[in-house]
Amino acid sequence: MTGEKGTIAILTGGGDVPGLNPAIRAVTIRALREGYRVLGIRRGWAGLAELVPDPAADNRDHVQPLTEDVVNRAGRTGGTFLHTSRTRPSRLPKALLPEHLRDRYPDEVNDITPDVLKNLAFLGVDYLIPIGGDDTLSYAQRLHEEGVKVVAVPKTMDNDVPGTDYCIGFSTCVTRTIELTHQLRTTAGSHERFLVIEVFGRYAGYTALLPTMAGAADRCVIPEHPFDMELLCDLLSYDRNRHPSRYAVVLVSEGARISGAGAMTFEGEEQDQYGHKKLGGVGDRVATLLKACSPRHNRGRRVNVVSQRLGYLVRCGDPDALDSIVPMAFGNLALDLVLQGTFGRLVSIRNGVYDSVPIDVVTGRKKQVDVPKYYNTERLRPRYKTLLRQPLFIMTSDV
């Protein structure tokens, strides 16, 4: 069935977060009722990279028609029923080329954008709505430059897509971080230990800073400011000695760096197609160093440490209230832009108001915590004196 107004394709790329299915649902239902045909591209950009532009080919693994029944069943759940990947068609390794393209792209790394454009034309796609973080959306910007009519939706639990105060997935991540940290307190208190919790945040510390501001932790360390290990140990010792149950809590962003210790902590050397190594292990590293230096700050007595990486626990499961409401609004905003004939835009929230910005903002700069404004580097905790007229999530305003 071809919609009388044209065809809209939706895809989700990068890591999954709660709120993706509500966004897909919002776009689909509104688009169908406005007279469009809607397609779901499966596995992010991989679906468009691997699709075979032949009417006789079986492309069910790459694309599916979207109906109200399909999206209504998925719309209340977490994850993405369209599935996702970290595929980057502009830098696709030779080993990952689909079989039908291997003869045409002989290099070790290939830009197969010409075939992505052919596949969009083969599917009859008039408008493309990608939902993702800055990596996924950087390729959406490339397609916009190639003439594709793109309206983008920001998603990432790190909340670090430029141009918007809020990205889908962030509220659920913060909510889960607060809940899980409070649950872990019982173990830390029972054993009178330091509690080190590693949270997401490669380049931006919002997922550590905001839960700390909400009372989940005593201290936090973030990627934007390399921290001194002795200072952290001294502060946590102070917090522990003042607590009736004699424990203290620190949230550690996965991208946090220890002063004098060089780069971030990685699980290995392998990189994804966007050039990122997999982060992980800084929490355990901090825990080991805290245990070693604790006697110097506790009258010669060692303090043991509980170390826990929250990882995928904060990105799995159903969305919270905000990650059900915002995706609905973002989906409808995207449709508004399509109806207006306005493309090359990223739907956004700025200072508490729904809006849109040019999509090239995602490649123009990084969105990070304003350290002098929001982070006390001497106390390794948020500043609480800059709240007047701040947006809902305070330090996430991107100006």
Q: Of how many residues is the chain composed?
A: 399
Cα separation of 283 and 262, whole Å? 16
Helical ranges in 18-112 per DSSP H: 20-34, 45-50, 68-74
131 close to 168: Cβ distance less than 8 angstroms? yes
User: Which residues, 6+ apart, have CB-to-CB distance to 216 below 8 Å?
Assistant: 177, 178, 181, 182, 249, 251
Catalytic residue selected from 16, 134, 135, 158: 158
161 close to 45: Cβ distance less than 8 angstroms? no
Sign of the four-CA dihedral 278, 284, 287, 288: negative
Question: What DSSP string runs through 311-373?
Answer: GGGGTSS---SHHHHHHHHHHHHHHHHHHHT--SEEEEEETTEEEEEETTHHHH------HHH
DSSP secondary-structure letter at 296? Answer: G
- 107 in active site: no
3-state secondary structure of 386: coil
User: Which residues, 6+ apart, have CB-to-CB distance to 126 below 8 Å?
Assistant: 6, 7, 8, 149
Distance between start and end Cα atoms, the chain = 44
Residues carrying an active site annotation: 158
